[in-house]
Amino acid sequence: MDTEQITKAENEIPESVPQTQAAPAPQTEEPKKKKKREKECRRVKSVSPMSAIIPFIMPNRTGAMNLIHDTADIEKLEKYMKEKQLSGMTNISMMHIMIAAYIRLVSQRPALNRFIRGQRIWTRRHVEVSLTIKKEMRLDAPDTCVKISLLPDATLEDVYNALNEQIVGYRDNPGGNFDDTARWLAKIPSLILKFVVGLLRFMDYFNLIPKFLQKVSPFHCSYFITSMGSLGIPPIYHHLYDFGTCPVFFAFGAKRRAYEADAQGVIKKKHYMDYTFVTDERICDGYYYASALKLLHNIFRNPWQLDERPEVVPDVE
């Protein structure tokens, strides 16, 4: 084969080999689809058969209440609070610290953020905290319920800012969504109001209450907190509500003093604070609650951990 034949053969492309096509013109990328919003609440299915049956045996939250009383040595808490006041958190109170401590507790023991709806166990993404406030500490001063919502990794600063925004906003301008809703309901004639409330209970069972009403309702929350310390009395055992989703009521009382002997026999003045929990036993077992209470003691001994976000936040289930 001469040189001309070789060149001709090299330039011929067999039919079985596809010819190379020119690269297509660059196309404009399609806009990325928005990430699907994660649901605020979801059904918990990874529970034991006994836990799944208990809500049918005890259908009411008030019939499933357990009462816990405990005491905290608040020496470290008081020192922590004074440091925060000097750093610029001039309005900080024990209420802020107790809310932050419980949210941190939920971050490590996520089953505390469960609730019962429709006799099934559900859980939340956010920790929703309800509390009652008064504009002024007078017998005739009006009061209302406010609610804040934070992620489980919230710090004390997050709690401080969110709560102060709610409290200052109400005291400057009394009223709001909850008061407006309650005022509207109070104008309904008794028999009709009884029917309306019954309808709301039915809708709540099937999670049919509109989201804006659940957002306003203080009864739909992770827990309710109340301070008896501001009233100068010990904490009460506050009942839970059958309406809504609140599974825990947390109350803490006034600071009290005690004189105790240390290891060397020296008498020292100690400061304590009593607190109570009323819990819905259907969301988790006693061992889990006990573990959470021990973790709360650890937070009280070292409240400075509330300044940083937790390193690990287990799944909400």
How many other β-carbons are positioned within 10 Å of the β-carbon of residue 166?
17
Task: Report the chain's terminal Cα–Cα distance, integer Å.
Answer: 79
108-154 per-position pLDDT tens digit: 999 999 999 999 999 999 999 999 887 666 777 677 889 999 999 99
Distance of alpha carbon 153 from its chain centroid, rounded?
Answer: 10
pLDDT of residue 137: 67
Are residues 102 and 125 in contact, defined by beta-carbon separation less than 8 angstroms? no
User: Please, which pLDDT band fits residue 37 given cuts at 50, 70 and 90?
Assistant: low
User: Please, which pLDDT band fits residue 316 given cuts at 50, 70 and 90?
Assistant: low
- Most confident by average pLDDT, 46-50, 116-120, 209-213: 116-120
> pTM of the entire structure?
0.84
Residue 198 pLDDT > 90: yes
29 sits in which H/E element:
none
Looking at domain 59-70+95-302, its CATH architecture is 2-Layer Sandwich (3.30)
pLDDT of residue 156: 98
Those residues with Cβ within 8 angstroms of residue 59's Cβ, 6 or more apart along the chain or in another chain: 119
Kindly list the domain boundaries of the chain, sorted by start residue.
Answer: 59-70+95-302
Nearest to 76 by CA among 56, 54, 101, 58: 101
